[in-house]
Structure 1
Amino acid sequence: MSEALKVTFLGTGTSQGIPIIGSKHPVCLSDNPKDKRLRVSVLVQWKNYNYVIDCGPDFRQQLLANPIDQLDAVLFTHEHADHTAGIDDIRPFFFRQGDIPIYAHSRVVDSLKRRFDYIFAKENRYPGAPAVAISLVSKEDTIDLNGLKVTPIEVLHNKLPILGYRLGDFVYLTDVKTVSKTELEKLKGCKVLVVNALRLEPHISHLNLEEALAFAKEVGAVETYFTHISHLLGFHDEVEKNLPDNVHLAYDNLKITI
């Protein structure tokens, strides 16, 4: 693999995914594959390394569709279930590789320990459980992933501080409502920005489409992709055709190279 970053959008949906169970909303009934969205996650490949940002409840399904034979780290943005509930599915990689490196804020690790105590247990471990190697990160840190510089970026999800990440010229932010001027400086000069655009109406803890477009313009990346999309944003093709030329709706299994 080259020095370029290859990014695969494993999932681009909101916490319930699209379609929502039992929903009769027209977007949930769409036949367009781009309107079917698993929970948000991206695979970032660099050289011979594979990194995943968030592993939600669809993680197994996502990696069956985008197979990799090793997992070099999982970076967590925050503790909500749609971003973490698939952590048990690192098991196949653990059995081949040993402890899987994870990077997360201390608060997120505490949450994972409560919910997945068997993964973090030191004694009397269940023999089929995976294990992880924990690296605590905050907005002050810089991460070195086998030579790839990664910068955590703190954003607010309503009032909850969570992390996005800049990997080289690629910035991945999800569940954003606001970003401080200090953290915004970390985005300067990025080539590709990924950020959430939940729906048309305002939301207490997410950017809506209008806010996401304004944020994309402020950052000024060469290309911007919207993710964490709900059915209330509308049909993929209809929304996409009304976006600026350098702004796109991401969709599941989309691959880009940076």
Structure 2
Amino acid sequence: MINNLRITFLGTGTSQGIPIIGSTHPVCLSDNPKDKRLRVSVLLSWGKYNYVIDCGPDFRQQMLRSNVDHLDGILYTHEHSDHTAGLDDIRPFFFRQGNIPVFAHNRVVQSLKKRFDYIFQEENKYPGAPTVDINLVKNNEPFLIGDRKVTPINVLHNKLQVFGYRIGDFTYLTDVKTVMPEEIEKIKGSKVIVVSALRIEPHISHFNLEEALRFIKEVNPEKAYLTHISHLLGFHDEVEKMLPNNVHLAYDNLTITI
């Protein structure tokens, strides 16, 4: 019997988070906890397993807040800093568990090697640095995490290739602007999807709210959650009232089970 998949939204904000440093925008000044968003990431948990999708600059805070005591691996969507900058903070997990598996496109791995060269050194490595086991993700090649199959979803973030992931009835897509028809077919049938919706106005490399809702309607899941949200989308409670019945704004610490 496969355990239910539990998804915890570790962060639901865009690259600057909400509030933005020094901003006086009304959403940044909001007292509503749902308007305070760390950088985007989710924790996938079932049975004895814990995996995260992306490992951004708020990773340490997110792990402490969610009381995560072990980590079985990291799935990367792409190499931008808000999705990768927390890699060094896997050290407590590495010290207890040993090498931490990472799953990423080869281009992303090469970027990590440049930015975190001390982690990937093979000779004269600093003894306090963590070590990772690299697993390359390739389009149209499913792979296993724990006892579950993952199907990569190939999308574009402006012109940059990004991977989304489908695990059973759950699909996660962030930093997406274009999804080709053959990739949409991989997503259809998902009970729950998570997709980015940056703001109201169009953006060169992200779905805005209108585009995200159009995409959700095409894929037709039972439920959808919006993430990678900027302050320009508006106040959480006000936007939530505007959405179709099967669509919700995700917020930090929200947990759903499939």
- Tell me the TM-score normalized by structure 2: 0.99
Partner of 2:203: 203
Partner of 1:23: 23
List gaps (5 residues or longer) in structure 2: none
Instruction: Report which stretch shifted further, 1-10 or 67-76.
Output: 1-10
SS of the residue corresponding to residue 135 of structure 1 reads: strand
1:114-142 Cα deviation digits (max 9, x unpaired)? 00000111111111100100000111211
Partner of 2:133: 133
1:134-168 Cα deviation digits (max 9, x unpaired)? 00011121111122010010000001111000011
SS of the residue corresponding to residue 241 of structure 1 reads: helix
Partner of 1:169: 169
C-alpha separation in 2, matches of 1:187 and 1:106: 23
SS of the residue corresponding to residue 195 of structure 2 reads: strand
Partner of 2:39: 39
C-alpha separation in 1, matches of 2:172 and 2:138: 16
Residue type of the alignment partner of 2:131: A
- The aligned runs of 1:1-258 (5 Å cut-off) are 3-258=3-258
1:8-48 Cα deviation digits (max 9, x unpaired)? 00000000000000000000000000000000000000111
C-alpha separation in 2, matches of 1:176 and 1:37: 19
1:45-94 Cα deviation digits (max 9, x unpaired)? 01110000000000000111001211001000000000000000100000
SS of the residue corresponding to residue 242 of structure 2 reads: coil
C-alpha separation in 1, matches of 2:170 and 2:103: 18
SS of the residue corresponding to residue 96 of structure 1 reads: helix
Residue type of the alignment partner of 2:186: K
SS of the residue corresponding to residue 135 of structure 2 reads: strand
Count of equivalent residues: 258
Any runs of at least 4 consecutive aligned residues in structure 1 with deviations exceeding 2 A, and if so which? none
Alpha-carbon shift at residue 2 of structure 1 (Å) = 6.5
List gaps (5 residues or longer) in structure 1: none
SS of the residue corresponding to residue 39 of structure 1 reads: coil
C-alpha separation in 2, matches of 1:139 and 1:67: 33
SS of the residue corresponding to residue 163 of structure 2 reads: strand
Residue type of the alignment partner of 2:90: I
- Percent identity between the aligned chains? 72
SS of the residue corresponding to residue 103 of structure 2 reads: strand
SS of the residue corresponding to residue 186 of structure 1 reads: helix
C-alpha separation in 1, matches of 2:2 and 2:135: 27
Instruction: Report which stretch shifted further, 221-230 or 135-144.
Output: 135-144
SS of the residue corresponding to residue 218 of structure 1 reads: helix
